[in-house]
Amino acid sequence: MYDNNNIFAKILRKEIPCKKVYENEHSLFFYDINPQAKIHVLGIPKVSCIDLTDFIKKSDPKIISSFFKSVNLVIDKLDLNESGFRIISNSGKDGGQEVPHFHVHILGGEKIGRLN
Ligand code: 5GP
């Protein structure tokens, strides 16, 4: 079940500040507090969803499309298209997810190492 008190829910309610990169009616993008690359941005939809599969299951296709179009827009805004980037979305225990609100990590600005 979705936990309304997770950190990203608090960020969406503006109870906790964030360093915003982009926001529209469906999503918010902000810098990760503990960056794992020169550029490390998190993107979250404004839907109470735990992970990617929960987001896809419970959201209108227009909201899903809007979120991923915003991911594209942020990649452009960060000027990562030419140099490249990595997108990660962790889910659950085995995926190493810490914050139980669906988010994508956008990593770039330098060569990102292999995961294994
Ligand atoms: P996960 O492990 O759930 O995929 O990633 C959670 C991410 O959220 C981590 O990279 C962590 O650094 C980031 N994070 C945790 N708390 C905060 C916070 O209060 N503000 C911001 N901007 N990032 C956070």
CA nearest to 88, candidates 60, 61, 115: 115
| C-beta separation of 107 from 40 below 8 A | yes
Determine the Cα–Cα distance for residues 38 and 99; give it in Å rounded to an integer.
21
Predicted structure pTM score? 0.98
Residues with CB under 6 A from ligand 1: 7, 16, 18, 30, 32-34, 42, 90, 96-99
- Annotation says 103 is catalytic: yes
Of the options 1.20.1050.10, 3.30.428.10, 3.30.1330.40, 3.50.50.60, the CATH number for the domain spanning 7-108? 3.30.428.10
Ligand 1 atom with the smallest distance to the CA of 40 is 10
Helices within the chain (DSSP H only) = 7-12, 52-58, 61-77, 92-95
The domain limits of the chain are: 7-108
Determine the Cα–Cα distance for residues 80 and 48; give it in Å rounded to an integer.
29
| Cα of 75 from ligand 1 centre, angstroms | 19
Structure tokens at 104: 């994508």
Please give the pLDDT value at position 116.
66
pLDDT tens, position by position, for the chain (116 residues)?
999 999 999 999 999 999 999 999 999 999 999 999 999 999 999 999 999 999 999 999 999 999 999 999 999 999 999 999 999 999 999 999 999 999 999 999 999 998 76
Q: What are the φ/ψ torsions at residue 32 (nearest 5 degrees)? A: -65, 140
Structure tokens at 113: 């190492």
Residues 37, 83, 114: CA angle, nearest 5 degrees = 50
Determine the Cα–Cα distance for residues 106 and 32; give it in Å rounded to an integer.
9
Q: Which residue in 26, 101, 103, 105 is the catalytic one?
A: 103
Please give the pLDDT value at position 16.
97
Residues 62, 63, 67: CA angle, nearest 5 degrees = 115
Ligand 1 atom with the smallest distance to the CA of 98 is 3
